[in-house]
Structures are given as C-alpha cells and as structure tokens.
C-alpha cells in the first residue's frame, strides 16, 4: 500500500518544488510586482464608461486642499485646470478641505469634506474620504494629485472609473517628514507605477527618475502660468515697498524651501534694496520662528499673500529669489518668470529645466548672486527678464496644459 502511494506523492511534490522555483522566497517584491501586473490587466478590462469619449466628461479632482487657491501649487493647478475644463464644456468637481461660501466656483462644483488636521494625516485622510464619496457619486474620470495618494487610486479603478495621478516631485526628500512619512512616500512612488491608469509628471527630470528607477513611462505635462505684469500696485503701499526696489521670495516656509538661508544671505548683502519674504506653513511653527528672528529693517515678512496682491508683488519686484531644493516644476518660479521678473534660482535639475538661460543660478552663494544682480546693467537685466517671459509663453501656457490634460483624460475613457 505504501508503494502504491508513491506515484501519487511524486507528482505532488514535484509540483510543490516547481511552485517554489517559480516563487523563490528571496524575491517577495518581484512576486508582488507580478501580482500587481495581473491586477492591472484585470482592472483595465473593468474600466469602461457608457458616455462617448467625444462627449462632455464628468471629471473629479482629488488630493488638493481645494479651490479657490489659497495654499500652494497643487491648489493653483486645480483652480486653473478645473475652470478651463469647465469653459471647454466639461463638468468638474473639486474636492475641498476648506469650505467656500458658495457651492460652486467659476462653474466648478466644490465638494467639501472634513479631514484630520494633522501634519501626517491631513492629506491622506481627506483623500480617503473623497475617494469614498467619489465611489458613491460617480464621475467619468478622476485626477488625483500628490503621489502620497497613490494607494487610493485602486478603489475607483475597481469601480470602473479611470484614474490619472499627478505625482508632483520627490516628496520623500523634504526635510519636514520623519522616517515613517518618507517611507510612505517611497512606497507611494512604487504604488503610483502600479495602481492608476496613467501617471503624470510635471518635470522632465521627474519623468526620467520614474523611467530609470521603476521602468515606468509617465505622461509629461508641465505646470502653467500667465504672462504679463499687473499695472496695479496697491499691496506695495500696504507693505511699505517701492516698485523695482525689493527682492521677492514666495514659498511655504519649510526647511527644503530654504527661507532661512535666503534671509541670512540677504542680511549679508550690501544693498539698500529690501526683501519681501512671503509665505507661511501650517505645521512648521518652530522653523517659521527662526526665519522671523531678524532685526534687519530691510526685510518685511507679512505672511502668505494670495490673489491680486501676490500677482502685484511679482509684477513690480527688482528680482525674484527661488531657493526651493525639492520638487518638480515649481509654480511660483514659473509665475515669476511669466511676469517678467529677473530670476535668481537654486541650481537643481528641475529648476534648470524651467529657467534654462533666462536667470541667475546659485548654490551656496546666494549673497554673491544678489550682489551680481545689482551690479548688472539694466540692459542685461532686461534681457534676462525678456527671456524668462518668452520661455513661459513657449512652454508653460495654461491653455496648452489644459489641452494636454483633456486629451489624457479623454484617452483613458476611450481606452479598451
């Protein structure tokens, strides 16, 4: 009887050995990657939409603080993109954390949902609730912002809603995050290559990173900006500034944006021009205290300024200082260039990609760059200002950006 059982056990053990060879224990990540590949194939078959690809789309934008924009780049992006898509005849819903007085803004439907007001949970908590709401109030297609939200993109896909994810820059490199948050962003990078239908990068350098690290082809769509200066200058009077007599810095006041280094470098410069340090941040109180710790009367720090006041500041500055060292395409940089500002920028691949030869680069020598800008002739400064505005017109038009997103979203609907 024992001998009779051998022919049965032999093939079974051989099959077990074969399975162990196919899935060796030393490569768990590779197996998981294979599972995601199969899952993506099945999801792509589920992603169907009854509405014709050539018709009016119902679009949801998730992952930002919402509109009207009063925080950062993603919010400005959501406002500029959504309002233009509405003008093109589409229905757009933007999920918001801050409640607006009206249910819609410039034709865009605003969906307010609560969140957990905490540095590490604010974004993902709100995006999770937004995703649940999206599943109950279906749209044709969804655009998620921020790579940290990659994990949620699988849910609408399972429900048959195509998803694009704008990953922004390499968030895990920001100094404000602890080890756990950086690990989450690293995991999210990988998930972003597996779960959404399409991944969008707004800088060619970030697209190269995803291609080289993850062998993932992304859709490159840059950020946009308006061109031209505002004639009005009311905010200058309120801040005690004179047109053409101040350096401008605008950013969230966080370590990787180097506001402290900008203030210290300016203090070391020999000039009677002033510095307007514009910005704030919700979870960086100690860092902001250090930035504000100055007795230099040339420096003004009013906090965050949005809307017309922000545009006026960019229109009348002597020069704009961009010191951010992490991220993709930075909105404030392009917007300053679009207003014809003389740009001093921190040398990174992403910043060089945007500015090219239309600005003054620096690394740890900002004081020298400030004094160099002052020493230039006005003709030399005007040449750089003209180049900066021309680059924005050629490469960073909001209408062009919107057209590319419309094509991407419609293409995902048409994809079998």
Per residue in 330-343, pLDDT (tens digit) is 889 999 999 999 99
Give the Cα separation of 60 and 144 in Å (integer): 8
The answer for residues whose C-beta is within 8 angstroms of residue 397's C-beta and 6 or more apart is: 224
Amino acid 389: pLDDT: 97
Percentage of the chain beyond pLDDT 70 is 83
Least confident of 32-41, 82-91, 127-136: 32-41
Least confident of 20-34, 157-171, 177-191, 324-338: 20-34
Q: Give the relative orientation of helices 331-338 and 307-316 as an angle to the nearest 10 degrees.
A: 60
| Ramachandran assignment for 219, one of left (phi > 0), alpha (psi -120 to 50 degrees), beta (any other) | beta
All CATH 3.40.50.2000 domain ranges in the chain, comma separated: 28-224+398-414, 234-395
Neighbour count for residue 101 (Cβ, 10 Å): 6
Residues 82 and 94 sit within 8 Å (Cβ to Cβ): yes
CATH topology for 28-224+398-414 is Rossmann fold (3.40.50)
Confidence of residue 271 (pLDDT cuts 50, 70, 90): very high
Give the Cα separation of 110 and 119 in Å (integer): 23
Q: What is the pLDDT of residues 48-67, one digit of tens each?
A: 444 544 689 999 999 999 99
Which element (helix H / strand E) includes 278?
strand 274-278
**pLDDT, the chain, mean:** 86
Amino acid 23: pLDDT: 34
Give the Cα separation of 409 and 363 in Å (integer): 39
Q: What is the pLDDT of residues 300-321, one digit of tens each?
A: 999 999 889 999 999 999 999 9
Give the Cα separation of 97 and 117 in Å (integer): 10
Confidence of residue 265 (pLDDT cuts 50, 70, 90): very high
Amino acid 216: pLDDT: 95
Q: In what order do the strands lie in the sheet with 58-62?
A: 104-105, 108-112, 91-96, 58-62, 141-145, 163-166, 198-201, 219-220
Percentage of the chain beyond pLDDT 90 is 67
Nearest residue to 306 via CA among 68, 65, 64: 68
Residue range 210-238: mean pLDDT, rounded: 95
CATH 3.40.50.2000 fits 234-395, yes or no: yes
Q: What is the pLDDT of residues 90-147, one digit of tens each?
A: 999 999 987 767 889 999 999 999 988 776 678 889 999 999 999 999 999 999 999 8
Amino acid 351: pLDDT: 94
Q: Exposure of 120 by Cβ count < 10 A (0-12 exposed, 13-18 middle, 19+ buried)? A: middle
Q: What is the pLDDT of residues 232-252, one digit of tens each?
A: 999 999 999 999 999 999 998
Residue range 378-385: mean pLDDT, rounded: 98
Q: Give the relative orientation of helices 179-192 and 204-214 as an angle to the nearest 10 degrees.
A: 80
The more confidently predicted of residues 173 and 215 is: 215
Checking if the pLDDT of 11 tops 60, the result is no
How is residue 127 written in tokens? 């995006």
Amino acid 172: pLDDT: 62
Confidence of residue 43 (pLDDT cuts 50, 70, 90): low
């Amino acid at each position: 009887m024992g001998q009779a059982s051998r022919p049965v056990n032999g093939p079974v053990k051989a099959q077990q050995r074969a399975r162990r060879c196919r899935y060796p224990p030393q490569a768990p990540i590779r197996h998981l990657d294979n599972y995601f590949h199969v899952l993506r194939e099945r999801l792509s078959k589920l992603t169907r939409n009854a509405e014709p690809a050539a018709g009016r789309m119902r679009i949801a934008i998730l992952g930002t603080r919402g509109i009207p924009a009063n925080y950062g780049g993603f919010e400005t992006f959501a406002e500029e993109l959504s309002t233009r898509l509405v003008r093109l005849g589409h229905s757009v819903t933007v999920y918001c954390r801050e409640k607006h007085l009206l249910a819609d803004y410039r034709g865009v439907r605003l969906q307010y949902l609560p969140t957990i007001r905490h540095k590490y949970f604010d974004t993902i908590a709100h995006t999770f609730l937004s995703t649940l709401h999206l599943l109950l109030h279906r749209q044709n297609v969804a655009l998620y912002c921020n790579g940290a939200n990659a994990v949620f993109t699988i849910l609408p896909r399972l429900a048959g809603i195509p998803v694009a994810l704008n990953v922004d820059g390499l968030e895990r490199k920001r100094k404000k995050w602890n080890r756990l948050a950086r690990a989450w962003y690293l995991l999210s990078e990988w998930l972003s290559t597996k779960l959404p239908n399409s991944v969008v990068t707004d800088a060619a350098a970030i697209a190269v990173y995803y291609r080289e690290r993850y062998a993932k082809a992304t859709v490159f769509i840059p950020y946009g900006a308006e061109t031209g200066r505002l004639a009005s200058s009311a905010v200058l009077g309120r801040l005690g500034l004179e047109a053409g007599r101040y350096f401008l810095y605008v950013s969230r006041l966080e370590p990787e944006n180097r506001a402290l280094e900008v203030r210290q470098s300016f203090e070391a410069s020999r000039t009677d021009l002033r510095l307007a340090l514009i910005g704030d941040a919700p979870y960086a109180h100690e860092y902001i205290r250090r930035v504000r710790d100055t007795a230099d009367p040339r420096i003004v720090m009013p906090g965050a300024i949005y809307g017309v006041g922000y545009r006026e500041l960019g229109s009348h500055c002597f020069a704009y200082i961009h010191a951010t060292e992490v991220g993709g395409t930075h909105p404030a940089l392009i917007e300053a260039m679009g207003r014809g500002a003389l740009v001093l920028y921190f040398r990174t691949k992403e910043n060089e990609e945007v500015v090219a030869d239309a600005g003054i680069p620096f690394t740890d020598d900002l004081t020298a760059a400030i004094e160099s800008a002052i020493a230039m002739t006005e003709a030399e400064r005007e040449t750089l200002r003209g180049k900066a505005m021309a680059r924005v017109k050629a490469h960073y038009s909001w209408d062009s950006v919107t057209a590319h997103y419309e094509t991407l979203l419609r293409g995902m609907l048409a994809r079998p």
